[in-house]
Structure 1
């Protein structure tokens, strides 16, 4: 990876962390992210504790950024392939926070969709590091950060679009909110299973399960049916992840 990408990604990470810290403490337009989310409740909004996963995401992203400066990683093809995608994700992340905190919900849905697309690009570019048994460090430094990041943003995109539609007065074409929520849980569980079996990735579904469990916790007072559906979808995601973890544990590193 060239020096300018290493510097850009380090600056991007610092910018994202700084803006997120401001957002968490109400430093952006005087409102925290949670306060804005509570203004427009939906049946797919997760409990507040779920957002603590951002700390894990940014720590993993820091490992990725630091790894790029290691002599052993400077010519890593997977690192080079993911670098532009990571920097673009930083721009979309900061942009989303600014738009979300200005309460432009429709615009925020488009921006988070952009973040999702950049993370899909980074995720797909990082998969060689996940498939190389000889380089386990590469998995933890390159592939794992994007698995967790994409898993969370996948659910966050669903939530954001739901908020935007509710804020815009969409009536769901007459379909009850509970039905839409359950349908979205099915989509999330399907994506989790697809990642587990197609990409042999247990970390994406585990992250999706984390979000789904938190949705169930948040919504159990509003609708037991929605809560049970969210937990069932989470159980499916966890089951697929465990199957893949069992397979990974049984793999033997390839001989040189």
Structure 2
């Protein structure tokens, strides 16, 4: 798949990143569709909607991704093997990210859900390919850990959480917001899935960053859903449990 020179992948990644960041900026600056991203979210209140502060994590994600894009443009620091592993998937993820924003702002919820699943898939492919490469070489420069591995771990975790939330929004649209106990059941199942995803990535890959992002999302859900004591309690309990498990996994990996 990656027969192209690494320098070409680097330029494509830069182009994709610029497109993604530009669309995300314009989404709120114009705003696209006449609504900010937060205003669109407010149209679809679901029981797993996190507090608005949680979305500030996008700033960290884009900052780290900018570091990755800059790093892979500098021949001295560029790891051609990593770029070959990533191949076209980062560029595609940028396009999917931008397209999701456009569809979301124009209220095409079904299409937006399909696209965020596509985004999640591309990020998981990047994640798996980089982990396979990590097992092969066994050693990385500190800057590669910070600007290559960390960005995609955080990005994947947050998009996984966003996808679960998007699924709840989709069901809300299908039922016109009148789905009774079904909404509560789906919200609880969403929290359970988030818990098991964090435990899987923590145990399988030793990915503390992934676990911390899910903890961040769970706490924000608990804060925002304080009027629903059951959802809030479950979210906080799962966050506390994951915090304990992340500490245990971290200590085990340090031995």
With structure 1 as the length reference, what TM-score do the two structures score?
0.90
Shift of 1:30: 1.4
What's the counterpart of residue 240 of structure 1? 245
C-alpha deviations, 1:165-222, integer Å up to 9, x for none? 111217898744222211111110100011011011100110111111111111112x
- Contact kept? 1:73, 1:79, Cα under 8 Å: no
- Contact kept? 2:89, 2:126, Cα under 8 Å: yes
> Which ranges of structure 2 fall in alignment gaps of 5 or more residues?
none
Which aligned pairs between 1:60-75 and structure 2 lie closer than 5 A? 60-75=64-79
> Which ranges of structure 1 fall in alignment gaps of 5 or more residues?
252-256
What's the counterpart of residue 79 of structure 1? 83
What's the counterpart of residue 99 of structure 2? 95
Which aligned pairs between 1:131-210 and structure 2 lie closer than 5 A? 132-169=138-175, 175-210=181-216
- Contact kept? 2:10, 2:83, Cα under 8 Å: no
CA distance in 2, matches of 1:81, 1:208: 26
What's the counterpart of residue 36 of structure 2? 32
- Contact kept? 2:96, 2:119, Cα under 8 Å: yes
Shift of 1:81: 0.9
Moved more, 175-184 or 15-24: 175-184
Shift of 1:58: 0.4
How many pairs does the alignment contain? 249
CA distance in 2, matches of 1:99, 1:199: 33
CA distance in 2, matches of 1:118, 1:246: 31
Shift of 1:247: 3.4
Which aligned pairs between 1:50-69 and structure 2 lie closer than 5 A? 50-69=54-73
Moved more, 143-152 or 23-32: 23-32
- Residues 247 and 140 of structure 1: CA distance in aligned 2, closer, same or farther (over 3 Å): farther
CA distance in 2, matches of 1:57, 1:134: 21
CA distance in 1, matches of 2:10, 2:115: 24
Shift of 1:134: 4.7
CA distance in 2, matches of 1:21, 1:57: 14
CA distance in 1, matches of 2:38, 2:203: 34
- Residues 42 and 173 of structure 1: CA distance in aligned 2, closer, same or farther (over 3 Å): closer
Shift of 1:246: 2.4
Moved more, 16-25 or 97-106: 16-25
What's the counterpart of residue 225 of structure 1? 230
- Residues 5 and 153 of structure 1: CA distance in aligned 2, closer, same or farther (over 3 Å): same
Q: Identify which of 1, 5, 11 aligns with 2:9.
A: 5
